[in-house]
Structure 1
Amino acid sequence: MVTDENLKTTKNATAVMVTVLVQVLEKHMPGTEADFRERLGLAYAEIRNDSDDLNGLELLNWTRTYLTGFSPVAGRGSPFLEGYEP
């Protein structure tokens, strides 16, 4: 539901930042990512049921895709930065 390139770039950068933050937290506090993904799913359902915010839903979906590597369009892939070790 992206309407222009600036919005797309901002949503993508936001999804990447949240993903990287969750990945870092997972290294220090195992279970964080699973908890986050569960709450992300609840947030997605809440927004979907209560509004027509397609951009918000898309941002949440992109974040989930970066974390899990799964895309409803492309199918199974790799999580963002999978295998990267500083």
Structure 2
Amino acid sequence: MKSVSGESRTASSGASRVRVIVGLDVDRFEEAAQAARRAGMIIESEQPEIGTAVGTVARDALAALAAADGVEDVERERVYQLPDPDAPVQ
């Protein structure tokens, strides 16, 4: 089942881009990575042994990325920030 979840985003020249972690078919990793690129993903790192790639994609291309051949899952990267250790307890 393909899904898109999470809330992190980054800005790019003109187009709103989001950071994504993509699950790719391990048995056809290179072909799946190429399909993700054709769907608009800029891959920053690949982990072929576990079938994942990390990168960015235009917000309006998320559905195309999720539908690309060999893409099994698309998740928006989540960013958490802990309070400063010297901050008062809230």
Higher percent of residues as strand: 2
Larger relative helix fraction: 1
* Larger relative contact order, structure 1 or 2 (CA cutoff 8 Å, min sep 6): 2
Larger Rg belongs to: 2
Structure 1-normalised TM-score?
Answer: 0.27
TM-score (normalised: structure 2): 0.26
